[in-house]
């Protein structure tokens, strides 16, 4: 037993204080700042994250650092586990442990959440900065932008559902909110919900026998914006609720907008009927921005924060950070703050110092297929030849699929090349393998940990 079982919040704050010194500020602000210590007992530290996406990122990308730091602070072995919180619960973490219910301390292993179902209380919250006016259009996002414009000019008439998909930090939520602002301005009723919130409300409504209320609320809206649909994966019950909500809105020509971090065809764990409903709408992707767009975004950003930033600095940042606009913006904030704090001139030299460690993680990801094979085989304790062979026991099969996934995701290799590197598998086998890992990751914490460990080993290789 530990002696500190009752101060999870303070302990976690100490961990955060330590972490703050070890990660870049944008990373801290984006991923760590809004986490809360919920429970710490018997070596298990339950930490609340504001949404599943953050929880997943922390688990996948920062797990080692976090658990090492936690162990240092706690002075003993710690298993850190992330759990999703709603905003009310973040506040509620201030309450004493014996607060009215057990929602905070009794973390449910199933990942079932504990929302407060109050259909009137949760007003639509749109980020006031996410407007069309502030959206910089470039080649990578012009289609998505045009579709979003079309939908907001004629909601429910042209493309419903509109599905926006693309990697993290490329502006899906921004465009979705922009549609929302327009809808509100033209007097339409609107619901914006993350898939998390939708799930929470639905499950809560079922638990309280208030599904009628839930239904009425969702089905009476003119516009439904549902963010990050990939989080419906693995939630069969909510998929049911979503399907009926979707149909009800669709039949009465309401506008539905959905975002996803992967193409609809890759949402394989969603029920077929949902997948085909989504595919039946207009599906547009957002790509990583090209250099011109990155520069334009930086320029716009510098303008909104009223800073005169030299072109060389903008160039430097735009060249260096290319896959995530949130990081791009974060880097500018960071260098501006750094110049401010140190009272120095904002130039490239300063930038180099300020963003040290903020290198685009993708830059380091150029990996070689034989290194992947070696690293994965070692991690799973299987023979390299077995990976390349036909053995189909569970461990070997998963290791093989993991190798495929890494070559594809991190190595950017083609399916055929991957097949060759793995002893001559055909490309459909490789595609299946990659897909299998991708769909299992959100629902399999052990797999996420394996992936993290292997990535770390690859980085060290």
Q: What is the bridge-based pairing of β-strands 162-166 and 255-260?
A: parallel
CB of 293 to ligand ADP, least distance (A): 7
Cα–Cα distance measured from residue 184 to residue 223, given in angstroms and rounded to the nearest whole number: 9
Q: What is the bridge-based pairing of β-strands 36-41 and 44-49?
A: antiparallel
CB of 136 to ligand ADP, least distance (A): 4
CB of 92 to ligand ADP, least distance (A): 26
Segment lying near ligand ADP (by CB under 6 A), choices 10-18, 25-33, 130-138, 446-454: 130-138
CB of 228 to ligand ADP, least distance (A): 8
Name the binder of 156 from Mg ion, ligand ADP, none, CB < 5-8 A by kind.
none
- The reply on whether position 324 binds Mg ion by CB under 5 A is no
- The reply on whether position 334 binds ligand ADP by CB under 6 A is no
Name the binder of 135 from ligand ADP, Mg ion, none, CB < 5-8 A by kind.
ligand ADP
- Kindly list the distances between the CA atom of residue 53 and the CA atoms of 30, 56, 57, 228, in Å, as whole numbers in the listed order: 11, 5, 6, 9
- The reply on whether position 326 binds ligand ADP by CB under 6 A is yes
* Bridge partners, residue 37, by sequence: 47
Name the binder of 168 from Mg ion, ligand ADP, none, CB < 5-8 A by kind.
ligand ADP
CB 1 within 8 A of CB 32: no
Q: Which positions ≥6 away from 391 have C-beta within 8 Å?
A: 397
Segment lying near Mg ion (by CB under 5 A), choices 72-80, 111-119, 169-177, 369-377: 169-177
CB of 151 to ligand ADP, least distance (A): 16
Nearer to Mg ion, 214 or 242 (CB): 242
The residue at minimum Cβ distance from ligand ADP is: 171
**DSSP labels for 83-125?**
EE--HHHHHHTTS-TT-SSSTTTS--TT--------TTT----
Q: Give how many residues touch ligand ADP by CB under 6 A.
A: 17
Which one of 37, 48, 156, 169 is in contact with ligand ADP (CB under 6 A)? 169
Geometric angle at alpha carbon 19, from 30 and 87, rounded to 5°: 45
The CA radius of gyration of the chain, in Å to the nearest whole number, is 23
Nearer to ligand ADP, 46 or 233 (CB): 233
- Kindly list the distances between the CA atom of residue 312 and the CA atoms of 213, 338, 437, in Å, as whole numbers in the listed order: 56, 17, 41
CB of 170 to Mg ion, least distance (A): 9
Nearer to Mg ion, 83 or 173 (CB): 173
Asked whether the bond before 408 is cis by omega within 30 degrees of 0, the reply is no
The secondary structure of the chain in percent helix, strand, coil, rounded to multiples of 5, reads 55, 10, 35
Question: Cβ of 119: how many Cβ atoms within 10 Å?
Answer: 14
Name the binder of 326 from Mg ion, ligand ADP, none, CB < 5-8 A by kind.
ligand ADP
Q: Which of 378, 355, 283, 361 is nearest to 323 (CA)?
A: 361
CB 105 within 8 A of CB 31: no
CB of 341 to ligand ADP, least distance (A): 23
CB of 170 to ligand ADP, least distance (A): 4
Nearer to Mg ion, 172 or 204 (CB): 172
CB of 152 to Mg ion, least distance (A): 18
Nearer to Mg ion, 173 or 199 (CB): 173
Q: Of 246-305, which residues contact ligand ADP (CB under 6 A)?
A: 297
- The SS3 assignment for 156 reads coil
The residue at minimum Cβ distance from Mg ion is: 173
Distance from the Cα of residue 74 to its chain's centroid: 28
Q: Of 170-229, which residues contact Mg ion (CB under 5 A)?
A: 172-173
Question: Cβ of 197: how many Cβ atoms within 10 Å?
Answer: 20
Nearer to ligand ADP, 91 or 303 (CB): 303
Name the binder of 297 from Mg ion, ligand ADP, none, CB < 5-8 A by kind.
ligand ADP
Residue owning tokens 């909110």: 177
CB of 144 to Mg ion, least distance (A): 13
Distance from the Cα of residue 449 to its chain's centroid: 16
Which one of 30, 35, 51, 141 is in contact with ligand ADP (CB under 6 A)? 141
Question: Contact positions toward ligand ADP, by CB under 6 A?
Answer: 130, 134-136, 141, 166, 168-174, 297, 325-326, 329
Question: Contact positions toward Mg ion, by CB under 5 A?
Answer: 172-173
């Amino acid at each position: 037993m530990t002696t500190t079982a009752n101060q999870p919040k303070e302990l976690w704050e100490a961990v955060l204080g330590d972490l703050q010194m070890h990660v870049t500020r944008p990373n801290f602000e984006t991923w760590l700042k809004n986490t809360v210590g919920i429970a710490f007992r018997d070596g298990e530290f339950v930490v609340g994250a504001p949404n599943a996406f953050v929880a997943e990122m922390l688990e996948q990308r920062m797990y080692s650092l976090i658990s090492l730091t936690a162990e240092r602070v706690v002075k003993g072995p710690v298993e850190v586990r992330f759990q999703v919180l709603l905003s009310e619960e973040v506040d509620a973490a201030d309450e004493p442990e014996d607060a009215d219910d057990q929602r905070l301390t009794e973390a449910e292993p199933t990942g079932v959440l504990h929302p407060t179902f109050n259909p009137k209380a949760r007003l639509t919250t749109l980020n006031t900065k996410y407007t069309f006016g502030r959206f910089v259009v470039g080649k990578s996002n012009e289609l998505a932008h045009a579709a979003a414009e079309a939908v907001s000019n004629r909601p429910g008439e042209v493309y419903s559902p509109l599905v926006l998909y693309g990697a993290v930090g490329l502006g899906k939520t921004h465009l979705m909110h922009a549609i929302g602002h327009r809808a509100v301005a033209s007097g339409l009723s609107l619901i914006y919900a993350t898939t998390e919130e939708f799930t929470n409300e639905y499950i809560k409504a079922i638990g309280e026998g208030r599904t009628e209320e839930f239904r009425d609320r969702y089905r009476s809206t003119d516009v439904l914006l549902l963010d990050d649909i990939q989080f419906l994966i693995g939630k069969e019950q909510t998929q049911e609720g979503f399907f009926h909500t979707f149909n009800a809105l669709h039949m009465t020509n309401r506008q539905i907008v959905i975002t996803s971090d992967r193409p609809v065809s890759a949402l394989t764990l969603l029920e077929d009927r949902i997948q085909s409903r989504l595919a039946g709408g207009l599906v547009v992707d957002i790509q990583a921005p090209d250099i011109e767009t990155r520069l334009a975004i930086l320029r716009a950003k510098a303008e909104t924060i009223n800073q005169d930033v030299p072109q060389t600095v903008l160039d430097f940042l735009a060249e260096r950070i290319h896959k995530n606009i949130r990081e791009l913006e974060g880097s500018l904030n960071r260098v501006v703050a750094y110049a401010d704090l140190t009272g120095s001139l904002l130039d490239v030299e300063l930038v180099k110092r300020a963003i040290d460690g903020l290198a685009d993680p993708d830059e380091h990801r150029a990996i070689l297929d034989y290194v992947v094979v070696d690293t994965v085989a070692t991690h799973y304790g299987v023979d390299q030849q077995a990976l390349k062979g036909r053995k189909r026991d569970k461990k070997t099969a998963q290791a093989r699929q993991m190798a495929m996934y890494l070559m594809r995701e991190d190595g950017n290799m083609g399916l055929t090349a991957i097949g060759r590197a793995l002893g001559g598998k055909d490309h459909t086998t490789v595609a299946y393998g990659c897909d299998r890992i991708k769909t299992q990751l959100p629902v399999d914490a052990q797999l996420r940990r394996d992936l993290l460990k292997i990535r770390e080993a690859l980085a060290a290789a």
